Structure 1
Amino acid sequence: MGFRNLRLVTAVFLFALPYGAAAGDHVKRPRAVVELFTSQGCNSCPPADEHLSALARSGDVVALSYHVDYWDYLGWRDTLATPDNTARQQEYSRTFGNRSVYTPQAVVNGRHQLNGAKRRKLDAAIERMEGTVEGMTVDVDVTYSGDSVIIETGASDRKISEAQIVLVYFDPATEVEIKRGDNKGRSFVYLNSVSSFHTAGMWHGRKTRFELPMSEIVKKASGGCAVLVQEMKKGGLPGPILGAAIITVPQS
């Protein structure tokens, strides 16, 4: 199959204990946020999936795996894919001015895109941005009080025109045996596979406190939930991620 491309569908405008930096560890500024767009039907994706899992296990990177559905017609329907995941990748493509989407694509801090299977380049991008204005510049602290999750952000050191608090829900480690398609006969364990996401509120660059019911998060996240402080570009497109944290979902 090789490195896959698909022409951008311009009609779609939707934005529509886990691995990673955990709230209990008081990691207010992870090294980076890595969003990987992947597919179980893509034979170029396994190296990217493995490295995303390694980043998730590291505990200092918020690593999220968005399974997309546009390769399902080739013989294997991705069991973790959602249309919203595909839509988010398409919106990033518009942000970056791309003419197509592809797998595996990694987006670092909402700022830089690259082939997610290029491990050295991905690690270099994380290292290059860390501690700079392109890295995590806003503290995000998550604490728990009774049945509430409290999210507190620091202030930005520059003017923010439009930004959102985005909650990204993901599944726990999920083993999948692929029975058809290019990866037929192979089995993978996927970490932090995104099941849904939504905007929890607007952020205006000031210290802010949000309180959410844990019960609502538990309903949507079987593995965990990432909190992203993300600037928005013209037309509501996703832009730079300024801060992030992980909400740990209690296990029954």
Structure 2
Amino acid sequence: MNQKLKVQIVTLLFAFLLTGCFQSVGNETMAQTNEQKQATPKGFAVVELFTSEGCSSCPPADANLTRLVEIAHKNKLPIYALSFHVDYWNDLGWKDPFSQRQFTERQRAYARALRSSRVYTPQMVVNGEKGFVGSNRRQAQEAILAAFKTAPSASLQLVLKDTAEGLQISWKTKGMKAGDQINLALVEKTAERKVSAGENEGRNLTHVNVVRLFKAIKSPSASGSTMMQTAEKMDWKKYRVVGYIQAPQTLQIKAATEAELKPN
């Protein structure tokens, strides 16, 4: 099979996976499926969702992110999802327990980089370059497929260690440029809350990869480590760390990975 045809097949596979309508029809399609199972994308997709439990438009976007996480894990696709809960809905009836001001500031930085005049929820941003309404499955699919076609310009590896002082995160990188930063997000894999006020009053809301702690390492060395202050007793099966290298001005994301704490 020539390279051009192989790329076309890989692209179709990911499109089918992301829309949830992949079906094998006939012997020819079955033969292609065997080829597809061995293929992997060139690139990766960091999918940042800016959301709030106080926003009635956000649950469909939360569901969209959940769908992407399920597809990624089932098919071992390099999609790194992050749910950032902003705080600008907190005065409208319901204070989101996952919200943080720094996440709102992060979204505002994207608004400036993407030349948008406003921030809104729900918003998805893929690889720091493409922003759109977070519940829009088609735009999410298109942005992820586009990201898959571009090989990363850097690499990042993470190792986690639970210590008396907190979570130690060590990294090794290649290909970073001067001024690049490493973002480290401690995420809770799944979280559920019953909302008792505000626009989502009475609803049970489920979230995935909720960012609980976020740390940006500015101008890091090629290898190093940092600490995240965590609770004394953490059930580490419920958490993972997503790390990614990002350019400070354009906010383009150059590499990404995730890691979980290995049991003793």
SS at match of 2:217: strand
The residue identity in structure 2 corresponding to 1:167 is L
The residue identity in structure 2 corresponding to 1:194 is V
TM-score, normalized by length of structure 1?
0.74
Structure 2 counterparts to residues 49-60 of structure 1, below 5 A:
49-57=62-70, 58-59=72-73, 60=78
Q: How far 1:112 moved relative to its partner?
A: 1.0
Aligned residues: 211
Q: Which residue number corresponds to residue 219 of structure 1? A: 230
Q: How far 1:201 moved relative to its partner?
A: 4.3
Unaligned 5+ runs, structure 2? 1-39
Structure 2 counterparts to residues 80-229 of structure 1, below 5 A:
80-132=98-150, 136-143=152-159, 149-155=169-175, 160-203=177-220, 208-212=222-226, 216-217=227-228, 219=230, 223-229=239-245
CA deviation profile, 1:113-147 (whole Å, cap 9, x unmatched): 11111011111111012132xx6332222346896
- Return closer, same or farther for 1:197/1:80 CA change in 2, 3 Å cut-off: same
SS at match of 2:219: strand
Structure 1 or 2, whichever has the larger Rg, is: 2
Q: Which residue number corresponds to residue 28 of structure 2? A: none
State the structure with bigger RCO (CA 8 A, min sep 6), 1 or 2: 1
Q: How far 1:92 moved relative to its partner?
A: 1.1
TM-score, normalized by length of structure 2?
0.71
- Return closer, same or farther for 1:138/1:41 CA change in 2, 3 Å cut-off: same
Q: How far 1:200 moved relative to its partner?
A: 2.6
Report the identity percentage.
31
Structure with a larger share of its residues in strand: 1
Tell me how large the CA RMSD over aligned residues is: 2.8
